[in-house]
Amino acid sequence: MLNVYKAKPKASLLGKTFTFHIDDSDYEVHGISKHEQKIAFVSAALPGEKVQARVLEDKAGFLKASTVKVLQASALRITPPCRFAVQCGGCQLQHISINNQRELKQQGIDKLIRHQTGLVNLPWQPMLTAADSGYRRRARIGIWYDKKQRRLSVGFRQSADKQIVAVDNCMVLSPMLAPVFSVLNQVLNQLKDPAAVTHAEVLEAGSNAFVILRHIKALTDAEQQLFINAWPEAVWLGEAEPGVFNYWQQPAVPQYQLIEQQLSLQFAPDDFIQVNAALNQQMVTQALNWLNISVNDTVLDLYSGIGNFTLALAQRAKTVRAVEGVAKMVQQLATNAKLNGLSNVEAYQADLHLAWPKAQWNRPVYNKVLLDPARAGAQGATEQIVKLKPAQILYVSCNAATFARDARVLLQGGYKLDKIGGVDMFAHTSHLELMALFSR
C-alpha cells in the first residue's frame, strides 16, 4: 500500500495573545507588524509601540489582531475622551487626537493609492472637516435582554464581538437624539417581554427625532403608548418586518436640507443618507465647485440614491440623468426633483455593476460624470464610464481600497487625477471618505 506523506497543518493562532512591535500603520490606522513571517494588522496600535494583542483572524498570508495591552506607548497616544471607547466598537481611534487621526488616515490612504496606481505623487486638497462630537444624525442601537439574569443592555456592539456595551450617552450622537438611551432603558423594562425588541434606529431629520424599533413580537397599543409618553417629541415607528414601517402616531415624512442650495430632500426611514449633515453639505458644495457646473453641462449622476448630488447639480446644469439600483429610491429621487421644482432631472433604475443596457441614459453625450458608490466601489461601472468619454469624472468614495482599484481603471482609460481630498465624515473612526476629480 502506497503511503502519501501529508504535512500536518499548522496549528491556528486564533485566540492566542502575542507581543507585537509596531513598525507602521495602514490606511485604516491599524498597526503593522510581523509574526513568524506573516504580516500582522493590529487594531488600536500605533507606529513605534510594543503591544500585546489577541489574534482574531489567522489567514495564509496575514494575521489580524486586537490590542489588549500597551507595553510601550507612542507619544501620539492619548486618553480617550469617551469612557466607553475601549469596549465600544463604534469609535476605533479615540486613543489619538483628532488632528493626528486625520493625518494618519490620509497618510495610509496616500500609500495605498500610490501603491495600487503607480502614481508618484497625489494632488491632495485640504481635507473637509467639521465638529468631532455630536455629528451623527443616524445610529443603530443594539438591545439585548438576558432572560436568565433579567438584565437589559442598551448600547453598541463591542469591537469584533456581538456583545452589547451598555451606554447611557454617546459623544458623537446628535444632541437631539441623546434621550434615546434613558427612554429605552426606562420603557423596555416595562414590557411584558423586553426581548421582543431587538434593536432601535434613531434618526434626526429636520426638526424631528425619529425612533424605529425592530421587534420580533407584536407590541400592544398600550406598550407602544409607553414609548410615546416617555419621549413625546419623537416620532415612533415599529418595524415588525424589514422595510415595513408602522407609525405609532401621526405619520411624518423624514427630510433633510441642503442649506446652501436651498433644497429639501424627503426619504424613507430605510433609505441611505449621509450621517454627518455638516460634512454632507460641504461635500455637495465641493462637488459643484470642482466640476464647475454650468448651464451648458449634461451630467450623469451614478449611484444617485434619493438625489443628494443630483438636485444640486440640476440647479446649475442643462440636464442631469441619475441612475440608481434601488427602484424605490429612484422614485424618491423623481419626487424630490418635483418637490424642488427641478424639471431637468431624469431618473433611471439599473444595476450599474452589470453590463449596461441600451438606454436613454447610456449614451456618450455627457461632459461630466459624478459617481458615489457604496463600499464595494464601482467595479464594472468604471470601464463603462470610460467608454462614454466624459471630459471630467468626480468619484466620491467611502472605501479607499475599492477606490484605488477603480482609479487604476480610469487612469488606464486615459484619465489623469487632477484633485483628491479627504472627507472626515466619521470622526474618531478609521474611515476617511474621498473625493477625486479625473479629467482627460
Catalytic residues: 398
Cell digits of residue 245: 414601517
Identify whether the C-beta of residue 378 lies closer than 8 Å to the C-beta of residue 302. Answer: yes
Kind of pairing between the strands at 138-146 and 50-58: unpaired
Cβ–Cβ under 8 Å, residues 267 and 276: no
Cβ burial 80-117 (10 Å sphere, 16+ → b, else e): bebebbebbbbbbbbbbebebbbebbbebbbebbeebb
**Residue whose grid cell is 466619521:** 426
Distance CA 263, CA 257 (A): 6
Helix pair 400-412, 98-117: axis angle to 10 deg = 40
Residues in the chain: 440
Rounded Cα gap, residues 173 and 395, in angstroms: 28
Cell numbers at 289, concatenated? 465647485
Q: Which residues contact 102 (CB under 8 A, 6 or more apart)?
A: 127, 129, 422, 424, 432
Phi, then psi, of 265 in degrees rounded to 5? -120, 125
- Please report, as a single letter, which amino acid is at residue 35: H
DSSP symbols for 110-146 = HHHHHHHH--S---EEEEE---SSS-BSEEEEEEEEE
Spatial contact of 49 and 72, defined as CB atoms under 8 Å apart: yes
Assess contact for 371 and 299: CB atoms under 8 A.
Answer: no
Q: Are strands 50-58 and 62-72 parallel, antiparallel or unpaired?
A: antiparallel
